[in-house]
A and B are shown apart, each in its own frame.
Chain A
Amino acid sequence: MSNLARQPRNFGAPRLHFEDTINADPISVRDTILEIMRRLQSEFPSQSHGIISTEIVLAEVLNNITEHGYQESNLGDVTVSVLCTDDMISVETRDYGLPMPGLNPPETGLVDIPMEVDDLPEGGFGWFFIRSLSSHMEYRRSGSKNIFCVQIPTAREEPDKMPDTKPT
C-alpha cells in the first residue's frame, strides 16, 4: 500500500528538530517548549498559525502527562520528539505514567460554554485544544509506556476547523 516509491512530489524527509528526555514538571515543560519553539523558528514564521498551534498543543500534551500521567508528582520522565515536513509538525511523546483512561485520548468535554459566569469551566480545555488544532493523533500503550503522537498542519492558513464563533 505504500506510495513511498512513487512519491509524486519532492516532500523531503522528515526533519528532526528536537529530541530530549525531560522531567515531567511544569518548569521543565515550559523550558522545553521555549527551546522547541526557538528551534522551529528556523523553518516557520514565528506567528504563523501552525507555530502558534504547535506551541499550544505541546503545552497541553505535556501538561496532561505531568498532571494525569504522573499525577502532579513532578517525578517521571517524558521523551519529546519534534519532527516536521514541509506542511506538518509532528510531536511524539513517550512516558511511563498512568495509561490514558480507556486507552484512548479523552473526548473533549467542551461542547458549548455556558453564559453564566458561575457555570464556566475552569479546566477541561486541554484535549479540546489538542483535538481542535491537530489533524491527526494516535495513542498506544506499550507495556508500561505511553506513546502519543500528534500532527499539526502548517503549510496552509488553516481554515478554522472550529464551528464558527459568530455570536448569535
Chain B
Amino acid sequence: MMQATETADGVLVLTVTAERIDAASAVHFKDGFRDATAAHGGRVVMDLAPVSFMDSSGLGAMVAALKSLGGRKLEICGLAPAVDKVFRLTRMDKVFIVHEQLDRALTQDGPEGADAA
C-alpha cells in the first residue's frame, strides 16, 4: 500500500499507492506503515497524492500511524479535496504537519521548519 524511499538527507518518504484509505483498507494501511517505518528513526513524510478518498476508518489509521512513531511528527502532503476535508473538519490538520506537495515538504528543514510553534 505504500512505497518507501529514503532521500540523501535521510528523510523517509512514503508514497501511498492506494486510491482509497477506507474501512476496507485501513488495517492493511496501518500494518504497511509500521513495517515501513520500523527501522527508521528520522523524518517521515507521507505523500498522499494518489489518495482520492479517506473515511473515518482511514483517518483513524492515520492517527494510529502517527502514534506508532512514538513522539515523532508525521508530515503529510498532496491532500486531495476529500482528504483535506476530513483532516480540516476534525482539526487533524493541526496535529499532522501538512505540506502542499512533496517537493515543498522536502525543501523544508523538517517539522521545526514547517511549524515553528
Contacts and interface: CB of A to CB of B under 8 A. Distances in A.
B82 interface: yes
Contacts of B89: 128-129, 132-133, 162
Interface string B56-84: 11011101101100010000000001100
A122 B90 CA distance: 12
Contacts of A121: 60, 63
Contacts of A52: 81-82, 85
Contact of A29 (B23, B59, B67): B23
Interface stretch (B8-16, B43-51, B91-99): B91-99
Contacts of A67: 23
Given A63-B56, A125-B60, A26 B90 contact: no
Given A29-B24, A117-B95, A120-B67, A110 B82 contact: no
Contacts of A113: 90-92, 95
B24 A165 contact: no
A70 to B, nearest CB: 13
A30 B23 CA distance: 8
A117 B90 contact: no
Interface residues of A, number: 33
A147 B13 CA distance: 45
B34 interface: no
A39 to B, nearest CB: 16
A27 interface: yes
Interface of B: 20, 22-24, 53, 55-57, 59-61, 63-64, 66-67, 71, 81-82, 85-86, 88-95
Closest 7 CB pairs of A and B: A26-B24, A125-B56, A59-B55, A122-B60, A26-B23, A126-B56, A52-B82
8 contacts: A30-B22, A63-B22, A63-B55, A67-B23, A113-B92, A125-B59, A125-B90, A165-B91
